[in-house]
Amino acid sequence: KAGVTQTPRYLIKTRGQQVTLSCSPISGHRSVSWYQQTPGQGLQFLFEYFSETQRNKGNFPGRFSGRQFSNSRSEMNVSTLELGDSALYLCASSFSGAFFEKNYGYTFGSGTRLTVV
Amino acid sequence: GIQVEQSPPDLILQEGANSTLRCNFSDSVNNLQWFHQNPWGQLINLFYIPSGTKQNGRLSATTVATERYSLLYISSSQTTDSGVYFCAVDAPITQGGSEKLVFGKGTKLTVNP
């Protein structure tokens, strides 16, 4: 069974540009969530999507956005990149239901390492 | 919001030694997971353990939900065990019916040959 696939693995962008990251969850998982990891702030929740709907968003500016497609694949976008956006972006999938069904844990992808110069 | 504290922050061992990593959390949680982050950044799921005890080879974990802590045991450590170990709890979110993981700051383990 394939794991969570994130592309690309590495990215270098210039300040002011925008970037799109992709995540394909485990087959059958409908929930995809995104996390940002930096040395200073650690691992922080960005947002979570379920059945093409954003169910919750972390405390990040509006430059961070995402979406989910009907096949559960998700993309996140960061516009007007800043140096502080340099981070490892991790995607996780879980078998989560629509109405507080039991979550059996999260599986993470390998991450996308974004460097903003 | 819920707080997750891990200790110790750093741990240096000689190969073959045993160790215990601790995770304290400040409120009731639905789930708890232990992860190992490898040098390439991937979070490898070690245990999904909201309560009770589980074992997987040289690793085992115990969560006492009523006392809000979890322990990860590593026996006969190997150099490949080096990396950062994270505890993360699944905190309910009141709006939207979505839960999220709240991570501790991690324990950096170095196993020397």
pLDDT tens sequence across A7-55 = 999 999 999 999 999 999 999 888 999 999 999 999 999 999 998 999 8
Of B33, B41, B100, the CB nearest to A111: B41
| Beta-carbon separation of A106 and B33 below 8 A | yes
Which parts of chain B sit beneath pLDDT 50? Answer: none
| Beta-carbon separation of A98 and B33 below 8 A | no
Band (A100; pLDDT cuts 50, 70, 90): very low
Q: What is the pLDDT of residues A51-91, one digit of tens each?
A: 899 988 999 999 999 999 999 999 999 999 999 999 999 99
Band (A102; pLDDT cuts 50, 70, 90): low
pLDDT of A109 above 60: yes
CA distance A104 to A88: 24
Minimal Cα–Cα distance from A87 to chain B, Å?
11
Give chain B's largest Cα–Cα span: 49
Q: What is the DSSP string of B26-54?
A: SS--SEEEEEEE-TTS-EEEEEE-SSEEE
Band (A103; pLDDT cuts 50, 70, 90): low
Q: Which residue from A minimizes the CA distance to B103?
A: A43
Q: Is B43 on the interface with A (CB under 8 A)?
A: yes
How many residues would you count in chain B?
113
Band (A1; pLDDT cuts 50, 70, 90): low
